């Protein structure tokens, strides 16, 4: 399993639009942590760290440190501002290690399939370019 990004979350006591705006001005992104039968926890996450994680993998598996405990979670949904594309809110779903391993394996298989498909497309493009080149050479030879 590849290295899981770690992000330190702060519990959120204030709710609503005003509290969310204050958090965003402070460089934080409001979020929710839920799943596995626990009550939903409202949290604030560091905006820049979260941006770097989401930029690379939209549904990344992360280790969330909250109240001194580490929780394994997957990013389920990311809400962005429609113009600035800034992160507005993130939902995280708790996972156990088996679920995380299965999700990571599925992601790796999907990436391998996409890479194979891309390699096949490149081969087809190269063959088409060679065919065009050969046809152009034949046409040039006929003109002489």
Q: Return d(Cα 15, Cα 34) in angstroms, integer.
A: 16
Q: Return d(Cα 99, Cα 71) in angstroms, integer.
A: 13
- pLDDT tens, position by position, 39-66: 888 899 988 888 888 887 777 888 888 8
Residues paired with residue 33 on neighbouring β-strands, in sequence order = 41, 92
CB-based contact 9:33 (threshold 8 Å): yes
Largest separation between any pair of C-alpha atoms in the chain = 83
Residue 40 DSSP code: E
Q: Are strands 6-8 and 61-66 parallel, antiparallel or unpaired?
A: parallel
Query: Is the pLDDT assigned to residue 31 strictly greater than 60?
Result: yes
- pTM of the prediction? 0.62
> Domain map of the chain by residue range?
1-95, 97-144
DSSP string, 55-104: HH-TT-EEEEEETTEEEEEEEEEEEE-TTT--EEEEEEEE--HHHHHHHH
In 3-state terms, what secondary structure has residue 59?
coil
Q: Could you confirm whether domain 1-95 is CATH 3.40.190.10?
A: no
**In this predicted structure, which of 31-40, 102-111, 123-132 has the lowest mean pLDDT?**
102-111
Q: Please report, rounded to a whole number, the percentage of residues in the chain having pLDDT higher than 70.
A: 88
For residue 3, the model assigns a pLDDT of 81
Phi then psi dihedrals of residue 96, to 5 deg = -95, 175
Residue scoring higher pLDDT (1 or 121)? 121
């Amino acid at each position: 399993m590849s290295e899981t990004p770690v992000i330190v979350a702060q519990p959120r006591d204030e709710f609503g639009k005003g509290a969310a705006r204050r958090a965003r001005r402070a460089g934080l992104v409001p979020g929710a942590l839920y799943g596995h039968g626990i009550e939903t926890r409202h949290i604030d996450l560091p905006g820049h760290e979260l941006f770097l994680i989401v930029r690379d993998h939209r549904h990344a598996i992360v280790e969330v440190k909250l109240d001194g405990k580490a929780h394994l979670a997957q990013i389920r949904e990311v809400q962005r501002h429609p113009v600035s594309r800034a992160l507005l809110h993130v939902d995280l779903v708790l996972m156990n290690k088996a679920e995380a391993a299965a999700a990571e394996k599925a992601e790796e298989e999907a990436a391998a399939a996409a890479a194979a498909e891309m390699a096949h497309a490149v081969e087809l493009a190269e063959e088409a370019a060679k065919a065009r080149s050969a046809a152009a050479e034949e046409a040039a030879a006929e003109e002489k």
